[in-house]
């Protein structure tokens, strides 16, 4: 499991350990942000390398044509550059790092959404949502909702009778 996948696995929130989730969240965000920044930096460095390799290939193609006393058009130079093995390897590396940077960006966005979900889960915890589920045991949502409504109606009747 690589670093990206391990962080993806940590997106899951354990609703029964909210205090730990809240405590660890700032470090989680920082780790993802730092990894995203490094991925962008690696991508940009690969782009610079690609540009330099393309420039060198361009020069060599034009120089070779000049020594052979041949005229060469810009589209021909571009075509030959794309076929150069060094250019192809540098372009492949750049595209891989571009994809990785994009994946870290998506993970960073998911982390931001996780913050909202964590906040809502804390609200549910404060409202004793999870304790009611644990008391009930198994049962679907409609059954729990029905039980909640019946309990509330009984309490209202008692208040009216008093």
**Residues 29 and 129: beta-carbon distance below 8 Å:** no
Write down the pLDDT at residue 100. Answer: 97
Give the helix, strand, coil percentages of the chain, each rounded to 5.
85, 0, 15
> At how many degrees (to 10) do helices 74-83 and 85-126 cross?
70
Average pLDDT over residues 36-53: 97
Average pLDDT over residues 50-63: 96
Greater model confidence, 128 or 55: 55
Average pLDDT over residues 24-53: 96
Give buried/exposed letters for 115-138 (b at 16+ CB in 10 A, else e): eeebeebeeeeeeeeeeeeeeeee
Dihedral sign for Cα atoms in the order 86, 87, 90, 91: negative
d(CA 85, CA 108): 35
115-137 per-position pLDDT tens digit: 999 888 888 888 876 665 555 55
List, in order, residues 6 or more apart from 35 with CB less than 8 Å away: 3, 4, 7, 104
Total-model pTM: 0.71
**DSSP E strand stretches across 8-64:** none
């Amino acid at each position: 499991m690589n670093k990206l996948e391990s962080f993806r696995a940590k997106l899951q929130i354990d609703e029964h350990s909210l205090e730990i989730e809240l405590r660890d969240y700032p470090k989680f965000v920082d780790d993802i942000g730092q990894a995203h920044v490094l991925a962008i930096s690696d991508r940009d460095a690969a782009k610079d390398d690609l540009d330099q390799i393309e420039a060198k290939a361009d020069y060599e193609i034009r120089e070779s044509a000049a020594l052979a006393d041949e005229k060469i058009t810009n589209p021909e130079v571009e075509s030959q550059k794309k076929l150069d093995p060094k250019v192809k390897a540098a372009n492949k590396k750049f595209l891989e790092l571009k994809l990785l940077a994009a994946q870290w960006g998506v993970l960073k966005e998911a982390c931001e959404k996780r913050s909202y979900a964590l906040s809502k889960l804390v609200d549910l915890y404060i409202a004793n949502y999870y304790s009611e589920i644990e008391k009930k045991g198994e049962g679907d949502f409609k059954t729990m909702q029905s039980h909640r409504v019946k309990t509330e109606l009984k309490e209202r009747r008692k208040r009216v009778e008093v």
